[in-house]
Amino acid sequence: MGKLIIVGTGINPASHLTSDAREWIQKADRVYYIVNGKESEAMILQLRPEAQSLYSLYDPELERAKTYKMMVNLLVGSLFECETVCGVFYGHPSIFVNPAPDAVRTARQMGFEAEILPGISAEDCLFADLVIDPAHRGCQSYEATDFLARTRIFDPTALLVLWQIDGLAVLTAECMEKGFQPKHLDVLAEVLMQTYGPDHPIYIYEAATVPDEKPRIDRLMLRDLPQCQPTGKSTAYVPPIGTVVHDQAMLKRLGLVK
């Protein structure tokens, strides 16, 4: 019976690739990968020269959901030919990596053994580089298009993290093409300003992906968000506003006050 192992390279593979992930890349019967940057790809190919890239499945005119389905079919289908299959993905392999958890669930439904090994995500790097403790005020984390399209009810006294702001309302791989200009940042700014006001800060963050590189940390006001230039690596962070109000009745029930 075949086994599917999904691993992550972390954001800076030279520093973040775990020993377990490295071992599976080297010993699996077949390896597929989709990573960010030539340095990351070179590292994978150094560990496993015959590893196969999944980038060729992307089509700027095809919905990404269909591309992800093809990736799942390739990963799971290989289990009928190989004892072990390893899928290597950028960052944490189950955070904004749709085909990875889908492949694991599909493989398990078909009776195969499958698991995901954790990796370091962009959000982990954001907390470190901006010196933020998500437990201090609480943290909300949304994909940017989902945040707008579903009229999310969020708490402005907690941290707000918005992923994939470069690809707002883009369902194809168009946003991965060179020269792509992000859309609808004005809409995102408008929605956020309704709660925070135009003079509230927002950070455009990009983690360092290679050793000795510095992260991108651009601080701007919400009113200026439409003029910023996010990339596929950008994550937005909106600091909390206001104070957290304690529930005095609950504090008494919990014995924290008399």
Show the beta-strand stretches assigned E in 113-258: 113-116, 139-143, 159-163, 201-206, 216-221, 235-238
Identify the active-site residue in 64, 203, 205, 237. Answer: 64
3-state secondary structure 95-106: CCCCHHHHHHHH
- Active-site annotation holds for 105: no
**82 within 8 A of 29, measured Cβ to Cβ:** yes
d(CA 70, CA 115): 19
d(CA 258, CA 118): 43
- Active-site annotation holds for 68: yes
Report CA-CA distances (Å) from 106 to 33, 79, 91, 113. 18, 11, 22, 10
Overall size of the chain counted in residues:
258
Identify the active-site residue in 90, 203, 205, 237. Answer: 90
Q: Is 97 left (phi over 0), alpha (psi -120 to 50) or beta?
A: beta
Identify the active-site residue in 33, 68, 203, 205. Answer: 68
Phi, psi of 215 (to 5 degrees): -70, 155
Question: CA nearest 55: which of 70, 77, 39, 42?
Answer: 70
Phi, psi of 254 (to 5 degrees): -85, -5
- Active-site annotation holds for 64: yes
Question: CA nearest 182: which of 145, 231, 233, 237?
Answer: 231
d(CA 41, CA 18): 16
| Residues designated catalytic | 64, 68, 90
